Structure 1
Amino acid sequence: MSKIWLSSQERAEREILPLNLALYHAARDYPGGGKAIAAVYGLPATTLQHRLNPNADTHRLTIDDLEHVLEATRDPRILDSLLSLVPGAHWFEYQESTNECSEQQLMESVAVLSTQVGNLLTRISEHRRDGTYHDHEVAELEKLRCQLIGAVQGVLVCAQRFDGEVRHG
């Protein structure tokens, strides 16, 4: 089997990226890019863009830059990257719009979970065909695993809020 070379954008969609690349892609995909993020927070646009450039060794992102990009973009790739540094840590976005969960919302959460399971199993099957897991395939499966755990968390939260039938004993 020939080696598949993913473009930067394909890799960003299929793998958990290193933090500098996650921040770069998040800012690049934000409407107006890094300049818009800089404008929101009153930062020098050129400085932030240089710091976000993954090829610029002379400029480094600060923790404040990380905070600004994450807050502005709310990009899940950044959280994926940060939590990949802590084995076993996962995140999911808790929607606080309501304290109740309808039967429809619960069914939608289960459907998302089912889709995530299907995606993971499909990709495992495809990657096993040649009998070898390549690095980019392992990275893709890791991202799908994290998404699956997030879907499980979503079902659990919705189930706990379903019709207020949570009993604490």
Structure 2
Amino acid sequence: MNAKDAFHQTVHNYPGGCEALAARLGVNAAVLRNKANPNADYHKPTLDDVDRVMVLTGDVSVLHALAANVGHVCVRAETDGAVSDMAVLELVAKAWSASSDVGAEVYATLADGIVEAHEVRRVEQAVYRTVQALNEMVTRLKSMAEK
């Protein structure tokens, strides 16, 4: 997904939709709707708009879209305080689950002997989720490491 589509989804998936989010942002709903329209050549969102929307919604899919576009992944840097063996085990399980998603997507892509662009995008998204889960695990282990 590209950043424009991610911003559009973030704005419109907010509980109460664009109107409710616009009220929280203190902006006109029509202006926010236009800024979120990925096909509009006017009323484009600013970096400040994107930042405020991500903070208010908790949806950082725009950040992930931007990172993926330049070959990077995003990992939440702060821990939620649940630094324990069980928390690490949960992240390992998450990584294994994401890894099996990669295998399933690769298998589905190759099953008919034809590799299509949309299939490659699904594989790429599954790989992204796996790398993200593994990086989260490493971040958690680093926070547990004795200094």
Which category describes the TM-score, using the shorter chain as reference length? 0.7 to 0.9
Structure 1's unaligned 5+ residue stretches are 1-16
Q: Quick one: higher RCO (CA 8 Å, sep 6+), 1 or 2?
A: 1
Quote the residue 1:123 is aligned against. 105
Give the helix-richer structure, 1 or 2.
2
- Alignment match of 2:36 (pick from 52, 56, 74): 52
Identity %: 25
Question: Any conservation in 2 of the 1:37–1:68 contact (CA below 8 Å)?
Answer: no
**2:95 corresponds to which of 113, 133, 139:** 113
Cross-structure match for 2:57: 73
Alignment RMSD: 1.8
Matched residues in 2 for 1:136 and 1:74: separation? 28
2:16 equivalent in structure 1: 32
Q: Which residue of 2 aligns with 1:135?
A: 117
Letter in structure 2 aligned against 1:106: V
Retained in 1: the 8 A contact 2:79–2:140?
Answer: no
Q: Distance in 2 between matches of 1:65 and 1:159?
A: 34
CA pair 101-58 structure 1, distance change in 2 beyond 3 A: closer
Q: Is residue 48–residue 65 contact of structure 1 (8 Å, CA) maintained in 2?
A: no
Give, in whole Å, the separation in 2 of the partners of 1:54 and 1:34. 14
Cα offset, 1:167, TM superposition: 4.7
Deviating 4+ runs (over 3 angstroms): none
Structure 2: segments with no counterpart, 5+ residues: none
Equivalent AA in structure 1 for residue 4 of structure 2: N
Residue number among 80, 87, 93 corresponding to 1:97 in the alignment: 80
Q: State the number of aligned residues.
A: 147
